[in-house]
Structure 1
Amino acid sequence: MLRGLVSVFEDYAEYEVIATAVTADDALEIVKLQAPDVIFLDLSMPGDVFGTIKSIASGHPQTKVIIYTAFSSTESAVKAMDMGAIGFVLKGGPMAELTEALRSAVSSDLYISRQFASSVLTGLRERSKRREINDAVRLNLREKQIVAHLFEAQTNKEIARHLNLSEKTIKHYMSSLMQKLKARNRVEVVIAARRQQEAQSPSATQ
């Protein structure tokens, strides 16, 4: 398979294969020493392939990573893209996809095998939504309790009575909530908290 891959690009004068590797560690070493414009990796090659993709993308951004693999798992493709791969080509598809992926990578454009593109792009969108939710402001238990009372339009004094806390303590939590939610007053706290609650509801991720 490796020899076949090399022969594909030997037919094109504009491309030069400068090195080949069998393991993920060897591939990373090639990138460090020779800084190729593009490198093809197989998810089934020995070593930590996903870790190698991440290392190349973060430490050697001049080298674009294309995955060429028999693994038609949407989860694997999304993870590879998440680590920094810019292309994902399935083995068994038209060989022209390899050169198309290469041209796209050189232009810093994303490329995914056509028969696989729809499911992968959907997976990337879902991953993005989940990340947005995970990155949302996290409230502690007491702050959530106070927000619940704010939803009922209760005053600081009423909230303090219900939670058996001093009004001063409630004011302290209110200041913390305004800071966390980037709100200027209790009304904006309620609006921001409601928005966050809706974003984290199961229906928001479907």
Structure 2
Amino acid sequence: MTISVLLADDQHLVRAGFRSLLRRGRDITVVGEASTGDEAVRAARTLRPDVILMDIRMPGIDGITATRQILGFHPAKIIILTTFETDEYVFAALAAGASGFLTKEIDPDGLRNAVRVVAAGDALLSPSVTRRVVGEFAHRPVVAAASPGGDRLAVLTEREREVVRLVATGFSNDDIARELVISPLTAKTHVTRAIAKLGVRDRVQLVIVAFQDGLVGN
């Protein structure tokens, strides 16, 4: 299956570099480009890409606002790419619904892998986005379905709780499979069920709920 990608960055050379790097992946196709946040929104509405690489600082609306608007009509996986790795941007990007946050210093293989990871439904944060950042973000509001008793995690089975804990500590589906001695498909099924039961959008918000409800310590 080919992953369709939209590039949104106000610098032509940056877009050209990303386009060249991504085209080396046979399973990845760049279907469009945008140089402003407004263009990104229009392109996403027309092209319906699987993944969007979104710069933060662009003319017109910024990348975070564009992310929020796009996710209002199309469930794309959006990776925020920026040279400004600050807590403020991490928080804003995750709150807007981004599935990943990476700096532009990422290496070519890492970039292509990031596209594949979010396209498969996983969340992605750069290694330097630390546990402290995620833990601090966990104290901010997140949309999730609370159970009648007030314990959102009560709707999960013990195995699902363990899977959510591992997701919150940075484990991929393959990592979870090895840790729990189950298949990657079973691990993915547990994650998908936990997301559905908790009423959250994706793995990022699953992590936030885990921190908020004390499943993982800050």
Q: TM-score w.r.t. structure 1 length?
A: 0.58
Percent of pairs identical after alignment? 28
Q: 1:92 aligns with which of 90, 93, 105?
A: 105
Name the counterpart of 2:49: 36
1:60 aligned onto 2:91: no
Provide the secondary structure at the position in 2 that maps to 1:59: coil
CA RMSD of aligned residues (A): 2.0
Q: 1:112 aligns with which of 113, 121, 125?
A: 125
1:88 CA displacement? 0.5
Say whether the 8 Å CA contact 1:97–1:113 is kept in structure 2: no
Q: How does 1:136-155 map to 2 (within 5 A)?
A: none
Q: Deviations over 1:29-49 (max 9, x none)?
A: 111001000011101122222
Name the counterpart of 2:138: 125
- Decide which structure has the larger Cα Rg and report it: 1
Q: Deviations over 1:23-64 (max 9, x none)?
A: 011111111001000011101122222221111122111x11
Provide the secondary structure at the position in 2 that maps to 1:126: coil
Q: How does 1:77-88 map to 2 (within 5 A)?
A: 77-88=90-101
Provide the secondary structure at the position in 2 that maps to 1:16: strand
1:128 CA displacement? 4.3
Q: TM-score w.r.t. structure 2 length?
A: 0.55
Provide the secondary structure at the position in 2 that maps to 1:114: coil
> Given the superposition, is the C-alpha separation of residues 118 and 92 from structure 1 closer, same or farther in structure 2, using an over 3 Å criterion?
same
- Report 1 or 2 for greater relative contact order, CA contacts < 8 Å, sequence distance ≥ 6: 2
Aligned counterparts of 2:68 and 2:34: Cα–Cα separation in 1: 17
1:126 CA displacement? 2.5
| Structure whose residues are more often helix by fraction | 1
- How many equivalent pairs are there? 130
Say whether the 8 Å CA contact 2:45–2:74 is kept in structure 1: yes
Aligned counterparts of 1:18 and 1:110: Cα–Cα separation in 2: 22
Aligned counterparts of 2:130 and 2:124: Cα–Cα separation in 1: 8
Q: 1:27 aligns with which of 29, 35, 40?
A: 40
Q: Look up the equivalent residue of 1:57 and give its one-letter code.
A: L
Provide the secondary structure at the position in 2 that maps to 1:99: helix
1:74 CA displacement? 1.1
Say whether the 8 Å CA contact 1:74–1:123 is kept in structure 2: no
1:102 aligned onto 2:102: no
Unaligned runs of 5+ residues in structure 1 are: 132-205
